[in-house]
Structure 1
Amino acid sequence: MSQAIADREPPAEPPVHTLFQVSTSGALVSGLFGGVVSAAVILQHGDFGLGTFAGLDGEMIILEGRVYQAKGDGEVLEAGPDAQAPFAVVTHFDPEIDTTLAAAPTLKRLYELCDAQRASSNLFFAVRLDGRFDSVRTRAVSPAKKHSRLVDAAKQQHEFMFNDVEGTLIGIWSPGFSSAFSVPGYHFHFLSDDRTQGGHLLECASRELRLRVEKLTDFHLALPSTEPFLKADLSRNAAAELAYAEQSH
């Protein structure tokens, strides 16, 4: 797929309110971790989003047109244009809502405050939150063993706790009907302002935050044409495994 996507000319004008997704969550759950698209190609389709890297080598964070890699050892670095990804979701961030949220002592409460700003549960939304956090707990996956599934890699994930830190939550909210190919509900990655701390968000306690939200009414799914993807059995329901992989362990 990497070549197929690269061969497509990016639109002269970025599509408005479009979420561009590479591969499916089910493929990732099934262990299809091989890179299928480069960071450079991903950035042709958006400047805000998240994903992972080939071999599950860390969490992908896309913010303001730059791609960051939060690795399993805790290091955060800026990924080069040739870095490969098996899965990513990205958009050209153009928020319609720009407001302030009250302090939230838990991630559950933060979700509730964000929910009040969503106009529907049947569309996708890009969500950005900036400010100071009393605490942030993240995880980052490390390179997975060959022929393993996502749940196996999740059991070996590394978790990190950051206290009194300023940073950004980069998030996508997906409707329930997308569970066959995406991550339903909120999916957030964190990146500190100094770009040294980050990962997949597990829990947080936030102070007052700036919230920006974009309603995404167009969805583009680019499927791999690699042999492993074409031959994989993706018919099983991967929701339970995906939910397990998204949690703390």
Structure 2
Amino acid sequence: MAKLNCEISEHLQVALRERSKATGESIDRIVSNALARALEMPVHTLFQISTSGALVEGIYEKAVSSSLLLNYGDFGIGTFDNLDGEMVVLDGAIYQVRSNGTVTNIQDDTGTPFAVVVRFVADQDETIAKASSFEDLRSLCDKYRDSANLFYAVRVDGHFDHIHTRAMKATLDGLPLAQAAAIQPEFDFHDIDGTLVGIWAPEYSRSLNIAGYHFHFLSDDRTQGGHLLECSGKNLRVRVERLADFHLSLPESEEFLRADLTKDPSKDLAYAEQAHKKGDA
């Protein structure tokens, strides 16, 4: 990478050091991101809080506040303290889809143990004529990925014939993810307009993230949503961003520092991702 030499005020220098200490980011990264925003250039960086392996082991307490996420992205997914619902970050706002089906626009600081966000700038903008199932949608989206070794952000907007979601129910720290997922309420929506907010992660990242596609849904009126389990729709607008830069922020809690994260979380994650029982829509 190129080096930049310039003079800045002592006030800016102190502010840079304080921001770096507070966020854990290097000064180089802070300056690069600030310049990219000022020059209106895409950064194509995935910013992630904690790991999927930590979630599997029941580490659900706050790693960062929700407001911090918006410093690094305006599009993404995650969860909240104690798995209290599904997080959808869309158009620079954070929404919480709770297990009772309600959707709240989060205005105040709320803790998150796991989240991934990007500053969404699409490289591709396409239309899918028809997706008869979630599996079909995944296969169609595969056409817009040119590598199995990078991350991708995927946004799908349109009218859906059917959406099937879930929302995790708040639980105590330490309860394994597979057990928490077994009691997740599920919801069915029909003839609904909305957006799928998704991340595709490569197979080699499975100890850090959920390999493959991971989508959350949010309706246009911001009243319905959740983690996507199944869907179908026609004439869907698909926008994809290729992400070649990855930033991981790890918790410093005692639970995380002492956790055994050597186990492969894939089996438990796959169980948590699938449907278990239906709830009331």
**TM-score bracket for the superposition, by shorter chain length:** over 0.9
Letter in 2 for 1:26: G
Choose the corresponding residue for 2:156, options 103, 125, 129.
129
Partner of 1:229: 256
Contact 1:5–1:41 (CA<8 Å) still a contact in 2? no
Q: CA deviation at 1:125?
A: 0.3
Secondary structure at 1:196 match in 2 = coil
Partner of 1:188: 215
Q: What's the CA shift string for 1:51-71, capped at 9, x where partnerless?
A: 000010000000010000000
Matched, 1:156 2:183: yes
How well do the aligned residues superpose, as a CA RMSD in angstroms? 1.5
Partner of 1:95: 122
Written as runs of structure 1 = structure 2, the 5 A alignment for 1:64-75 is 64-75=91-102
Secondary structure at 1:121 match in 2 = coil
Contact 1:38–1:81 (CA<8 Å) still a contact in 2? no
Contact 2:59–2:173 (CA<8 Å) still a contact in 1? no
Q: CA deviation at 1:208?
A: 1.1
Partner of 1:48: 75
Q: Distance in 1 between matches of 2:172 and 2:121?
A: 38
Secondary structure at 1:229 match in 2 = helix
Secondary structure at 1:118 match in 2 = coil
Contact 2:51–2:114 (CA<8 Å) still a contact in 1? yes
Q: CA deviation at 1:146?
A: 4.1
What is the TM-score of this pair, normalised by structure 1? Answer: 0.96
Q: CA deviation at 1:219?
A: 0.5
Aligned residues between the structures: 247
Q: Distance in 1 between matches of 2:82 and 2:239?
A: 32
What is the percent sequence identity of the aligned residues?
Answer: 52
Q: Structure 1 segments of 4 or more deviating over 2 A?
A: 3-11
Matched, 1:204 2:231: yes
Q: CA deviation at 1:81?
A: 3.5
Written as runs of structure 1 = structure 2, the 5 A alignment for 1:25-64 is 25-64=52-91
Q: Distance in 2 between matches of 1:111 and 1:147?
A: 32
In terms of fraction of residues, the more strand-rich structure is 1
Matched, 1:108 2:135: yes
Q: CA deviation at 1:243?
A: 0.7
Q: What's the CA shift string for 1:118-143, capped at 9, x where partnerless?
A: 11111100000000000000000011
Q: Distance in 2 between matches of 1:96 and 1:154?
A: 34
Q: Distance in 2 between matches of 1:146 and 1:22?
A: 17
Q: CA deviation at 1:80?
A: 2.5
Query: Which range moves more in the overlay, 56-65 or 228-237?
Result: 228-237
Q: Distance in 2 between matches of 1:74 and 1:5?
A: 35
Contact 1:50–1:171 (CA<8 Å) still a contact in 2? yes
What is the TM-score of this pair, normalised by structure 2? Answer: 0.85
Q: Distance in 1 between matches of 2:195 and 2:270?
A: 23
Partner of 1:23: 50
Which of the pair has more CA radius of gyration? 2
Partner of 2:247: 220
Aligned CA distance change for structure 1 residues 203 and 5 (closer, same or farther; 3 Å): farther
